Amino acid sequence: MKLQTEIIGDSHSKTIAMIHGWGLCSKIFYPIVEELKNEYRIVLIDMPGYGINHKIPANRCDGIIQSLEETIPRGCALLGWSLGGILALKYSILNPDSIRSLITVSCSPRFTSDPDTRWPGTDKELLLKFTSMLTQDNCKSTIDKFLSLQAMGSSRMRDDIKVIKGLLSQVPEPSYYELQAGLKTLMDEDLRYSIDHIKCPSLHIYGKKDRLSPVTTRNFWDNKQDSHTIVFNESSHAPFITQTHEFNEQLKLFLCRYFH
C-alpha cells in the first residue's frame, strides 16, 4: 500500500525522502527541512500507524518495506533515523538500483548488542522492558520515557525534548500495534551480512553521546566502499535536533558530492 507523504520544496529539485524513528513521525525533521527546502524537494514519510498514516494498519518490517517500495521516489536520496535508518538500510539492500545515495542517522545494521560477536548496541533487555511496559492505555507515557533515553547525554537534553514534543504536539498518537512492531524490528533485524548489496554512496551520522546507537559501530563502515561517517560531539540520539546547522552543513556537503 502506497503511503501518504508530505512534500516540501520545489518539484523540479532533487528529492530527499526521509523516514522517522520509533514512536514519533516525520515532523521530527522540520528543523532541518526548513533550511534544505530551498535546495531540495523533501518527501516526508510517516510509517503505517504514525502521523498522516495513523489510520493505516500497523505492519512488521517486511510489510513496511513493501509500502516504502510503492512510496519512495526512484532516484532520490534516502535518509533514515534510528528505526527509520534500519528501514532505509533494508530498503537499500533489497532495492539497490532505486536510490542514488543513502544517509542513516543514529543507526547501525544491528540495533541491539550481540555479545557473541562483541557487537555494541542497545541492550535487548532494555527494549524488552519497553515492550512489557507498553499497553494500549500508556503509549504516550512510554514514548516520553523513550524520548528521555534518546536525549540523555546531549548537551541540550531538556531543550531537545522540548523541541521534539513541540513538533509532535498536533500529531495523532501512534498505534499501539505499530509501536510493538517497531520494537520487534529494533530487536530482531540484523543486516550486517547484507550490506554489500548496497550500491550507492552512503553517509552514516552518529552522536558521540548516544546511549542507544553507540558511536563505536561507525567502525563497521570502514571497509565498505563509498561509505562515510560523521560524529557530532555534542549530540546524543538526535543530532539533527541538537546541532541542526552543523548537521545540515555536513549533509549538504555529502549530497553535493555524491547525489548526482
Active site residues: 82, 210, 237
Secondary structure of 155-216 in the HEC alphabet?
A: CCHHHHHHHHHHHHCCCCCCCHHHHHHHHHHHHHCECCCCHHHCCCCEEEEEECCCCCCCHH
Q: Within a 10 A sphere around the Cβ of 228, how many other Cβ atoms?
A: 18
Alpha-carbon 96 to chain mean position: 19
